[in-house]
Structure 1
Amino acid sequence: MRSPNAVIALFGAYFLLQVVVRQIIPPALRIDEAQQILFSQWLALGYDAQPPLYNWYQQAVFALLGTSMATLAFAKNLILFLTFAVFVKTAERVLEDKRLVAVAAMALFVIPQVFWQAQRDLTHTAMFMLTFSLLLYCSIRLLQRPTTMGYLLVGLIAGLGMLSKYNFALALPAVLFAVMLHPQGRSRIFDRRFLLTIAVSIIVFLPHIFWLIDNLAFASEVTLKRMAEDAPESRALQIGRGLGRFIAGSLIIIAIPTALLALASKGKLTRSATHSNPWLRFFLHYFIAIATLMAIVILMTTMTELRDRWLLPLLLPFPILAALFLGQRLADIQEFAVRFLPVPLIMLALIPVAMLLAQPLTAARGRASSSNYDWQAFQRHIAEKEGISPSVIVTPDWPSGGNLRFVFPQVPVATTIYNDYDPPFKITDEHPALLVWTGDDDSVAELSQWVEGQLNLKVKTPTRHLVDLPHFYPIKDRAVRYNYAVVTPNDLLK
């Protein structure tokens, strides 16, 4: 409890264990994992509705360590570990009693979107969490000790944050507001070196801005649709629903840590604050700014859908705020910490077990999931039973595309979604084009059009084949339907 470095080491061991766990559970790639494998085929200034920082990072890991489930899991868990490490170091800078550093770190872990969602998926959100943690740490460090390097680092992290997720743009003014109201804040902001911060952040983000200008509709279409899901016709109702979703999403995130902290401190808050803590005010000002900014955004855009994972990084400092509050009012911090820490520590031990059991238990209940698809079985069917060695694989969605690329690592895989990837290929009798999709729909025409666009040749409608294969964990009376069609030179018309 008294060693923040020991807390960091504990989380290091935990996330290494999670890398091992990912090797044991079904090898079907989840949505974000599949996207990383698919995007690793080409380097671009932007890809879709998310900024490209995590994609670039994942490509660098693949380039250094190879493409495998181990490197995929390692990349993700390294980001989560670094987030906790920076979070601990941030808490250490503002909390006088180091036992509360452990409390704050464990309070962060028990947030459901952290201990479950972020470890199962959420790549871009995980990168947002890391860059925002770094922004907080470096901003606090700059307030405590201003250096030229400190200003440069804040600018670099601000630029990288904007490359991690677009709603990082909400975090920047909120942190700036909290800094401005800090006793040393104005002198730091009006220091001429703050211009270096602004310049570096713009330089880092600038290349992606050029891509965003040319692809604004493509980058925003999906997000705007999600933000307006189930919107009522009345503008007042839209605003009301948006504000309600913001409040509800925030409560979902902070509910469990708040409940555990309250139970552990019950009857222990026997003294009043002896002095005004500038760091407590710093984090309060940050959350006031976030709430105000979110209200303004909802009023201006009338968004009606706010998912809790979008809010998670913005609410990341809540455990530190709670620890600062408790540090001023607890009569016996040792007793409080001893009462609080067992539950998070038990969860730390049980979450890997839950992840191991989640998929087989889901299958045993008869529920199907794309995470339980057996893409290796499909690869064996194509390569061994059918004897097909494709020159290119085309599919209509990125989850299928990423999984196909993973099991056919030497074959370029394209989707009809991302038209900026034009892999070189040549259709021959030995190496035809393979069109693949899942489900009952007929996508032959759509996928054939992609081939036509690449080759500037007409494609005769190829024959649709299908094969039903069991799930990785078999489900009684259920199978996965894989559809495929083969385009050979005989199917090409000039």
Structure 2
Amino acid sequence: MTEGIRIDARDAAPTIRGEQGHLLAALLAYFAAHLLIQMTVTGSLERDEAEIVYLAQQLQLGYGTQPPLYAWLQWLAFSMFGLNLFALALPKVLILLALYLGMYRAARPLIGVHGALAAAASLVLFPQIGWESLRDLTHSVLLTSVACATLWCYFAVLRKPDARGYALFGLLVGLGLQTKYNFGIFLAGLVCASLLVREHRHVLWNRKVVIAAGTAFLVFLPHGAWLMQNLDAAAAGTVRKLAEGAGEAGYLDNVGAGLASLLSATLAFAVLPVLVYLFALRRLRKQIAFDLRAPESRFFLCLYASFLALLVAIVLTGEVGKIKDRWMMPLLFSLPLALFAVAPRLPRRAAFERLRPVVVAVGLLVLILLPMRTWFGPALGKIAPPHHPYPELASELVRRFPATTTVVTEGTLIAGNLHFEQPRLRTLLLEHAIRSEERLAGQVLLVMDEDATPGWLDRFRQACPQAQVTEQGRIRLGYRFGGKGSMTFDYVHLNVEDTTCCCQS
């Protein structure tokens, strides 16, 4: 059954196979180059990278504020290849490869092979996908990739609404909810758009929906059970991030700040590809005619309208002051596909040929600038986490305390970097160590940087009164890659004699 979806059959099979091969070869070469660069640039880990190294120390059903799926994949990579840069970068590279291929597969039945190539290649134009995803992002990359796969599966089920398709859709939904919790916004928008488009509603909404719902429930159930038992811990980080920028001036001021932040985040995400399209397709503008009557055109309009309504509703609570541009990734990644869908008369081959050199130039620029940011950033006065002296700190701590294997610190940036440089060091966050029931026995090392919360040692000793301080000091290390200045780290070495001592608040 194909009612409600317009299938573009203008592309011959040899053309499809040839273009698919070219796309796959280009993507493999691009991400292989990135992987090679990642392994040769020996800077400290970025924030998200350090966080995922910290989380992947062990398998858990939940990891505080972050859903577990990326940490599971990273744990698997470390288990197979060891704790190294290759294993750290490999999951993200494969996820990004799946994102680009998923966009192509989702778009091809709707807008033809050349339109699909243009839509997939255009992903590199979004700064948060083309640049930030390669630089640091983890969970958001996986979220966007699963959202893209879900969109592809949605249209596949629309073309062939069989039980297997509904089960696959449910599987992707269950996995998506374990990438980041704001996958729920994408899912809600998708459901709303599906219900609002009559042709889609008549095809999809039948008893087979139970198959999708049941599959999603079973896939999400293990983490969902953990989530219900740890709801406060899981929600705390999300609530804190949403509340950034929301002051105490009053409801209207907070709503105004939230709406302004929403507009700013949307523009930051979409303005570059929009400008590129306006420039590259300027000679084709007379052939652009929007057709809002087709089901797929109305679907995308309803999809984005639903996203907007959901986000505005969240802002209207008065509790949201800051919306980050990377939160737009799973919501707006399909904009190029939507453009070709609502402008069916746009010559797709010509559009792709005009976009291709720009996309290639942007991709090459990203590959060049990523390592240069690390190598030459300090000379320009730009100090970032890769310039922090965590490898030197890890070596110094191991030299001074060779028998110590447990390190407690306050942030995942330090914790992940120390464990990555010295895998034998088990790292814990101070807050987790205080609140958890994990046993801390023997030699324990507390390490904090200049940004640590005052009173951190008193908090630890209050929670673990049996701990005895054996040494306390300070280590000052210069920035890496010639950066001017230095970082100071305070450390306290303790001996927990009583093996029954557990850190409890």
Alignment TM-score > 0.5, same fold = yes
1:394–1:64: structure 2 CA closer, same or farther, 3 Å change rule? same
The unaligned stretches of length 5 or more in structure 1 are none
Q: Is the contact made by 1:452 and 1:459 (CA closer than 8 Å) also made in structure 2?
A: no
Q: 1:224 aligns with which of 227, 239, 253?
A: 239
Residue 446 (str. 1) matches residue 446 (str. 2):
no
Q: Is the contact made by 2:469 and 2:492 (CA closer than 8 Å) also made in structure 1?
A: no
Q: CA deviation at 1:344?
A: 1.1
Rounded Cα–Cα distance in structure 1 between residues aligned with 2:245 and 2:318: 15
Q: 2:117 aligns with which of 102, 112, 115?
A: 102
Alignment of 1:163-312 (within 5 A): 163-182=178-197, 184-232=199-247, 233-271=249-287, 272=289, 276-312=293-329
Alignment of 1:59-74 (within 5 A): 59-74=75-90
Q: CA deviation at 1:319?
A: 1.1
With 215-224 and 132-141 compared, the bigger mean Cα shift is at: 215-224
Q: 1:325 aligns with which of 332, 342, 351?
A: 342
CA RMSD of aligned residues (A): 2.7
Q: 1:374 aligns with which of 389, 398, 416?
A: 389
Q: CA deviation at 1:377?
A: 1.7
Q: CA deviation at 1:462?
A: 4.1
1:275–1:438: structure 2 CA closer, same or farther, 3 Å change rule? closer
CA deviation vs aligned residue, 1:5-28 (integer Å, no higher than 9, x gap): 422331222112111111122331
Rounded Cα–Cα distance in structure 2 between residues aligned with 1:383 and 1:460: 20
1:358–1:225: structure 2 CA closer, same or farther, 3 Å change rule? same
Identity score, percent: 25
Rounded Cα–Cα distance in structure 1 between residues aligned with 2:496 and 2:177: 46
Q: 1:78 aligns with which of 75, 94, 110?
A: 94
Rounded Cα–Cα distance in structure 2 between residues aligned with 1:180 and 1:379: 55
- SS of aligned partner of 1:21: helix
Rounded Cα–Cα distance in structure 1 between residues aligned with 2:351 and 2:205: 41
Q: 1:413 aligns with which of 427, 432, 437?
A: 427
Rounded Cα–Cα distance in structure 2 between residues aligned with 1:150 and 1:278: 20
With 373-382 and 71-80 compared, the bigger mean Cα shift is at: 373-382
With 53-62 and 364-373 compared, the bigger mean Cα shift is at: 364-373
Residue 55 (str. 1) matches residue 71 (str. 2):
yes
Q: 1:483 aligns with which of 486, 490, 494?
A: 490
Alignment of 1:395-410 (within 5 A): 395-410=409-424
CA deviation vs aligned residue, 1:45-94 (integer Å, no higher than 9, x gap): 21122211111121122222222111001111111111111111111121
1:267–1:383: structure 2 CA closer, same or farther, 3 Å change rule? closer
Q: Is the contact made by 2:104 and 2:120 (CA closer than 8 Å) also made in structure 1?
A: yes
Q: CA deviation at 1:421?
A: 6.3
Alignment of 1:35-46 (within 5 A): 35-46=51-62
Residue identity matched to 1:389: A
- SS of aligned partner of 1:460: strand
> Which residue of structure 1 aligns with residue 333 of structure 2?
316
Task: Calculate the TM-score normalised by the size of structure 2.
Answer: 0.88
With 222-231 and 28-37 compared, the bigger mean Cα shift is at: 222-231
Residue identity matched to 1:277: A
Rounded Cα–Cα distance in structure 1 between residues aligned with 2:116 and 2:292: 20
1:363–1:274: structure 2 CA closer, same or farther, 3 Å change rule? closer
> Which residue of structure 1 aligns with residue 3 of structure 2?
none
- SS of aligned partner of 2:286: coil
With 292-301 and 104-113 compared, the bigger mean Cα shift is at: 292-301
Q: Is the contact made by 1:395 and 1:447 (CA closer than 8 Å) also made in structure 2?
A: no
Q: CA deviation at 1:147?
A: 1.4
- SS of aligned partner of 1:45: coil
Residue 389 (str. 1) matches residue 403 (str. 2):
yes
CA deviation vs aligned residue, 1:123-165 (integer Å, no higher than 9, x gap): 1101110110111000100001111110001111111111111
Aligned length: 482
Alignment of 1:18-29 (within 5 A): 18-29=34-45
Q: CA deviation at 1:299?
A: 1.8
Task: Calculate the TM-score normalised by the size of structure 1.
Answer: 0.90
Rounded Cα–Cα distance in structure 2 between residues aligned with 1:338 and 1:389: 62
Rounded Cα–Cα distance in structure 1 between residues aligned with 2:452 and 2:312: 42
Q: Is the contact made by 1:270 and 1:329 (CA closer than 8 Å) also made in structure 2?
A: no
Rounded Cα–Cα distance in structure 2 between residues aligned with 1:202 and 1:281: 29
